[in-house]
Amino acid sequence: MTLIQKLREKCNLHRQHVKQGESSYQGKHGQCEDGNDYEKHVQRVEYRHQGKHGENEEREHYKKHVHHGKGCNHNHHHHNAKVTILLYMVSVLSYSVAKFVPLPEMLQNALYLFSTVFGGYHVIQEGIGLSVSQSMLSKKFTPNTHLLMTLAAIGSIGIGEFEEAALLILIFAGAHFLEEYAENKSRQEMSALLAMKPTQARLILQDDSVALVDVKQVKMGDTLQVLNGDQIAIDGVIIEGNGYINEASINGESVPKEKSIGDEVFASTINEQGSFKMNVTKTAEDTVFAKIIQLVKQAQNNTTKTAAKIKQFEPIYVKWALIFVVVFFIGASVILGIKESSYKSLIMLVALSPCALAASAIPATLSALSNLAKRGVLLKGGSYLSDVAELKAIAFDKTGTLTKGMPVVTNTYFTQEGKQFIPLIVGMEKQANHPLAKAILRHFSHEQGQSVSVDNRIGEGLVTVVEQQEYRIGKRLLHDVISDEVEKKAKEWELSGQTVVYFSKNSQIIGLIAMMDLPSKASKRVIAYFNRRNIQTIMITGDTKTTGQSIAKQLGVKEVLANVMPEDKAKLISIKQAKIGKIAMVGDGVNDAPALVSADVGIAMGDGTDIAIDVSDAVLMHNDLSKLVYLHKIARRLNRIVWQNIVFSMLVVASLVIMNVFNISSIAFSVIGHEGSTLLVILNGLRLLIPIKNSVF
């Protein structure tokens, strides 16, 4: 498959996912702006009511689809959760009566048996039922961890240890309720996003009346009304009024931003003060928030490589555990006899259960994804976190990524005569639509500008004639005569990476204006962070080597690849991969898309083009490059925590096995050790929900 085919396939796949990502909610609302406007108040109440209905519906839909068996495949809370918990409580009571009330042995055993069957029926169902169904589906024996516990309980009953069987099941089932509660903490931030997607909008009709409509009916170009306290329904631009917008849902910043005419506003954000009218610029499917939702949904189903390996390893491990227990029983029965060896084999079944191992990665990964999403870093899957943690190099596009993407005037020089012509320069540049012309106009914004007509010579500059005098502004080739002093100044600026525009009168250069696309505030600190960690920093640019090296020197970038054509970026990324190892590409434009696909991790700037965001693996919202550092720190932290969990869970298994061999264990002790370690592993993963303080640099 060619690079372009891969690019198109990835784009099409993402668009299909976005189309499927429709959900509903309309969030918090405030009081009526006009206390006497009863009709508006009624609309707002309806707006709120319909939104909450959509929220609940979508949240339930989400739970059904993503809250499937993680860790130890415990999915017993899907259906009849209340019945399950009620039976568990009754079973605990039954066990307590049998344990502490003097009863005939037969009645005691009956109560223990009741506790075993009804307190852990979901464990037995998943242990036997799920193993059978998965084995039939895969056409090979595919056991799960619950099967080990189920066999241990059945075996205990078989040798007459009814109390041990009941205790095993009750501890195991009770611990899983706690584990599931803890694991759900890692999903709350994800599912909370679905509770913020708008469903209703206030559409201004042709007769200036306002109608409450489904957000899917809103089209680009429509005008919407947003009142105080409303959630903004769709992306657009303010055309009348102003407001203070809380944009925490898309960038994690809870401090409201003042927005007025001409400013962009985004779906799901909250207008905390003021009211305004806005022009719709995107459809409901293409809003920034809709893309966030889709990325989060993708991330849920794409876990880390370690988690995927653990999931593949679990049935293999369980098979070998069963074989080991059989061999252990045969060997022990020769020395200890049938009954004692049977009991110790049941302890071994419990001790070898890999529940903690299975829970080592997924809760931690979901916690990391939640933490990142809340702070404006969106990934299309947890698998990319593994790659980020192992990066050997990061390549940055220059314009719009390391720089602001907007040239500014950095230096000016005029002869004594030339200073008087600044109004003329402004008048000339007003006739152009070039980024450099806009930079000049911003710099001389205090000048009114002289009204002139110009000859726009594409690729060269502008020419005008005023009072029989010819004036030119543009590239050096547009002018004929230059003094040594002016030429020296121009070369000095050009060598420092600045773009120089020349102004002349009758071909005699009498002014210079130097401009540069300056580095963004965060760029230098971001580059320094990666340099300190021996991750090679590379800048890829289509600019000249002089300009590229000038920016690289300011930022501390280790390597510059200049004069690079868009179609060559992907090739250079592949070459670097072969030489260095895993590499990330950070970019924002259409020309970066092939390189984003070729890199191990493609990272798009959030204000970049749709194609760059579509093909990337991660998105940094609002063009904040400092979020790249946060992403790297969380990825490394996830890597450490997952390995801590793996090592800890295997040490617990080994310890329980050794204790059993030396006759210092019991079924109850093994269950407590097993379930305690699983709970600790999940809680350790939940630490990734905690934001990293002073994390940026």
pLDDT value for 184: 63
Q: What is the mean pLDDT of residues 85-100?
A: 89
For the chain, how long is the longest CA-to-CA vector? 122
Exactly one of 235, 387, 397, 592 is catalytic; name it: 397
Separation of alpha carbons 79 and 15, rounded Å = 33
- Rounded Cα gap, residues 188 and 460, in angstroms: 58
CA distances from 515 to 92, 411, 431, 483, 676 (A): 77, 7, 19, 21, 64
Range in 137-146, 236-245, 513-522 with the lowest mean pLDDT:
137-146
Residues 473-485, mean pLDDT to the nearest whole number: 82
Q: How far is CA 39 from CA 19, 48, 212, 328, 493, in A?
A: 35, 14, 12, 78, 64
Task: Report the pLDDT averaged over residues 655-683.
Answer: 87
At 257, which helix (H) or strand (E)? strand 257-259
H-helix segments, 269-382 = 288-300, 305-336, 338-351, 355-358, 362-374
- Three-state secondary structure call for residue 512: strand
pLDDT at residue number 52? 40
Question: Residue 458: pLDDT above 60?
Answer: yes
Q: What is the pLDDT of residue 37?
A: 42
Token readout for 642 is 């997952």
Q: Strand 536-540 vs strand 559-561: parallel, antiparallel, or unpaired?
A: parallel
pLDDT band at residue 321, thresholds of 50, 70 and 90? confident
Q: Which helix (H) or strand (E) is 675 found in, with range?
A: helix 667-686
Tokens (6 digits) for 460: 């060269």
Band (pLDDT 50/70/90 cuts) for residue 382 is confident
Note the pLDDT tens digit of each residue in 516-537. 888 888 899 999 999 999 999 9
pLDDT attached to residue 580: 94
Mean pLDDT in residue range 265-284:
92
Domains of the chain and CATH, by start: 219-282 (2.70.150.10), 377-404+520-623 (3.40.50.1000), 408-516 (3.40.1110.10)
DSSP lists the bridge partners of residue 213 as 201
SS (H, E, C) 596-663: HHHCCEEEEECCCCHHHHHHCCEEEHHHCCCHHHHHHHHHHHHHHHHHHHHHHHHHHHHHHHHHHHCC
Measured CA angle at 54 (ends 52, 55), to 5 deg: 60
Task: Give pLDDT tens digits for 623-642.
Answer: 889 999 999 999 999 999 99
Classify residue 533 by its DSSP letter. Answer: T
Reduce the secondary structure of 384-397 to three states and give it as a string. Answer: HHHHHHCCCEEEEE
Residue 112: is its pLDDT beyond 50? yes
For residue 191, pLDDT beyond 90? no
C-alpha radius of gyration, the chain, whole number? 33
Distances (CA, A) of 556 to 44, 174, 542, 559, 624: 54, 55, 19, 9, 19
Would you call 600 a catalytic residue per the annotation?
no
pLDDT at position 261, please? 93
Q: What is the pLDDT of residue 435?
A: 82
pLDDT of residue 585: 94
Sign of the four-CA dihedral 307, 312, 315, 318: negative
Residue 334 makes CB contacts below 8 A (sequence gap 6+) with none
Please tell me the predicted confidence (pLDDT) of residue 684: 93
Distance CA 283, CA 685 (A): 38
Give the integer Cα–Cα distance in Å for 603 and 160.
61
- CA distances 182 to 82, 166, 436, 650, 682, Å, are 18, 24, 56, 21, 7
Phi/psi at 190 (5° precision)? -65, -55
Q: Strand 469-474's sheet: what is its strand order?
A: 408-414, 508-516, 499-505, 469-474, 461-466, 455-457
> Between vectors from CA 131 to CA 129 and to CA 136, what angle results, nearest 5°?
95
Q: What is the dihedral of CA 271, 276, 279, 283, to 10 degrees?
A: 30
Q: Residue 365: which pLDDT band, with cuts at 50, 70 and 90?
A: confident
Cα→Cα distances 367→188, 205, 408, 690, Å? 9, 44, 41, 9
- Looking at every residue in the chain, the average pLDDT score rounds to 80
167-176, 373-382, 491-500, range with the lowest pLDDT: 167-176
Give the rounded percent of residues in the chain with a pLDDT score beyond 70: 80
Q: Tell me: pLDDT of 201 over 70.
A: yes
Query: Which residues, 6+ apart, have CB-to-CB distance to 482 below 8 Å?
Result: 476, 490, 502, 509
Looking at per-residue pLDDT, the higher value among 247 and 214 belongs to 214
Lowest mean pLDDT among 266-275, 409-418, 446-455, 605-614: 605-614
